[in-house]
C-alpha cells in the first residue's frame, strides 16, 4: 500500500484495505552520557556488534501489521543503549510500544541499557504498501542511552543483515480519485474479484483495494457460515493518508469453479461475513467479538443483513448469477473493512 497510514477502525468483510505512506523527520535527541559501566566506546577499531531478527517477514500487502524486532547485544563489555528503526519505502509507522519518539518513518527506543549477551524485543506497528514486493528495514544502534554522540555506534552483525529484508504477500492497488466524481478500484485473484465505488470523493481522496488468499491470516468465518472465497479489502483515504468514513458500494464475483465446489450452488445461499473494529448490526446468532484478522485483534464479525428501508449500511443489496455461472454479491460498507463471501 502506498502512503501507509490507514490504521482506522476497519470494518472487515474479508476485504483488505491498503495503507499510504507518510514520511517524517525524527527530531534530534538530547545529549546523554553512555550507560553506567561502559568503560570503552564502539568505534571502527573497537567494533561492537548487535544481532537482530524481525517477525513477520512476509506481511500482507495493503494491511497493517505489528513487527517484532529482537535485538541482541553481542559486544563485551559495552552495553547497548538505544536503537532507531526506520521504515522501508512505502511503509508508514503508526505506533511503537515503549518508544521515546515515533514518526511515520522511524521509531526511537532509548534507555535500553542492554548488557553483553542480553536481548530485548521492540514492537513497531506499521501499515504496509502495495509494492514493491520486496523491502528492507533500516536500523541503527548506539552505546549511548539517548542515541546521541559520535564514535559509539554499534554495528549490525553481518549474519543478521538479511533478517531486515522481507517479501510482501497478496496484492493490492491504489487509485487516485477525481474530485466530486464517482471513483472505483478493483482487485482480483484466480477465483475471486471485487470492485468498490464511492460516489462523491473529496479532493485528494484515493481508493485502496486488495485481495488476500483464503489460506492467509486474513481468513476468518462467522458462526453458522464458512466463507470460502478470497479476501477482498478496500478503503478510501484522504490526501493525508487517513481512512475516511465514506459510504462504499462493493461488488464481489465468485468464479463458477469455486461456486460449484463450495457447497453454495445457488446465489441466494451466499453471504458476506463482515468484520469491523466498530460494532455493527449482524444477522442474529452470527456475531463474534475480539476476532483476530491478519494478526490484528479487536474485530467484530458477523453476517450482513439484507438492505431495506429500515436496515442501512453495512448490508447486502443483491445476490445473483451471471451468464457464466459466477455468483455476484453487492453490499454497502463504511470505512476500512473486510468482507468474506
What lies within 8 Å, CB to CB, of 255 at 6+ separation is 190, 191, 192, 326
**Which pTM does this prediction carry?**
0.63
- 176 and 305 fall within a common domain: yes
Same structural domain, 144 and 246: no
Could you tell me the residue range of the domain that residue 220 belongs to?
171-340
Is the same domain home to 160 and 192?
no
- Pick from 66, 27, 19, 56: nearest CA to 292: 66
CATH of the domain at 94: 2.60.40.290
The answer to the question of residue 14 being in a domain is: no
Sign of CA dihedral 112, 115, 116, 120: negative
* Chain position carrying cell 469491523: 276
Is residue 192 within 8 A of residue 341, CB to CB? The reply is: yes
The count of domains in the chain is 2
The SS3 call for residue 169 is strand
Residue with cell 474479484: 193
Q: State the DSSP code for 335.
A: S
**Is the domain of 143 the same as that of 197?**
no
Kindly state whether residue 304 falls inside one of the protein's structural domains.
yes
Kindly give the confidence (pLDDT) of every residue in the chain, 341 residues in length, as a single tens digit, with 9 standing for 90 and above: 333 333 332 333 333 222 222 333 333 333 334 444 444 567 666 689 999 999 999 888 877 789 999 999 999 999 999 999 999 998 989 899 999 999 999 999 999 999 999 999 999 999 888 878 899 999 999 999 999 988 899 999 999 999 999 998 877 888 888 877 899 998 888 899 999 999 888 888 888 888 888 888 788 899 999 889 998 888 888 887 777 888 999 999 999 999 999 888 899 999 999 988 889 999 999 999 999 887 778 889 999 999 999 999 999 999 999 999 999 999 999 877 777 78
Q: 87: closest CA among 100, 104, 70?
A: 104
In the numeric block, the cell 532509548 is attached to 110
C-alpha span between 186 and 250 (Å, rounded): 10
Grid cell of 20 as nine digits = 499510504
The reply to whether 38 and 107 lie within a common domain is: yes
**Residue 309: how many other CB atoms lie within 10 Å:** 5
Amino acid at each position: 500500500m502506498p502512503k501507509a497510514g490507514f490504521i482506522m477502525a476497519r470494518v472487515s468483510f474479508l476485504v483488505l484495505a491498503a495503507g499510504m505512506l507518510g514520511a517524517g523527520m525524527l527530531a534530534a535527541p538530547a545529549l546523554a552520557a553512555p550507560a553506567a559501566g561502559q568503560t570503552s566506546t564502539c568505534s571502527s577499531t573497537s567494533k561492537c556488534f548487535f544481532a537482530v531478527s524481525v517477525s513477520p517477514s512476509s506481511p500482507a500487502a495493503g494491511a497493517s501489521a505489528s513487527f517484532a524486532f529482537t535485538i541482541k547485544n553481542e559486544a563485551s563489555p559495552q552495553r547497548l543503549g538505544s536503537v532507531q528503526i526506520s521504515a522501508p519505502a512505502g511503509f508508514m509507522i503508526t505506533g511503537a510500544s515503549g518508544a521515546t519518539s515515533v514518526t511515520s518513518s522511524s521509531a526511537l527506543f532509548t534507555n535500553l541499557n542492554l548488557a553483553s549477551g542480553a536481548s530485548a524485543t521492540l514492537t513497531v506497528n506499521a501499515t504496509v504498501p502495495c509494492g514493491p514486493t520486496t523491502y528492507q528495514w533500516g536500523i541503527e544502534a548506539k552505546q549511548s542511552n539517548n542515541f546521541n554522540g559520535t564514535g559509539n555506534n554499534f554495528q549490525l552483525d553481518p549474519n543478521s543483515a538479511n533478517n531486515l529484508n522481507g517479501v510482501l504477500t497478496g496484492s493490492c492497488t491504489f487509485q487516485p480519485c477525481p474530485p466530486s466524481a464517482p471513483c472505483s478500484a478493483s482487485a482480483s485473484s484466480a477465483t475471486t474479484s471485487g470492485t468498490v465505488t464511492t460516489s462523491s470523493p473529496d479532493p485528494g481522496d484515493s481508493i485502496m483495494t486488495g485481495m488476500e488468499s483464503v489460506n492467509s491470516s486474513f481468513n476468518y468465518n462467522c458462526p453458522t457460515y464458512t466463507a470460502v472465497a478470497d479476501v477482498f479489502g478496500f478503503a478510501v483515504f484522504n490526501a493525508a493518508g487517513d481512512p475516511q468514513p465514506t459510504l462504499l458500494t462493493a461488488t464481489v464475483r465468485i468464479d463458477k469453479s469455486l461456486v460449484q465446489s463450495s457447497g453454495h450452488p445457488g446465489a441466494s445461499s451466499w453471504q458476506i461475513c463482515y468484520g469491523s473494529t466498530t460494532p455493527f448490526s449482524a444477522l442474529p446468532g452470527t456475531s463474534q467479538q475480539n476476532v483476530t484478522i491478519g494478526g490484528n485483534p479487536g474485530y467484530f464479525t458477523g453476517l450482513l443483513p439484507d438492505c431495506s428501508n429500515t436496515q442501512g449500511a453495512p448490508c447486502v443489496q443483491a445476490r445473483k448469477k451471471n451468464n457464466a455461472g459466477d455468483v455476484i454479491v453487492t453490499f454497502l460498507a463504511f470505512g476500512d473493512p473486510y468482507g468474506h463471501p
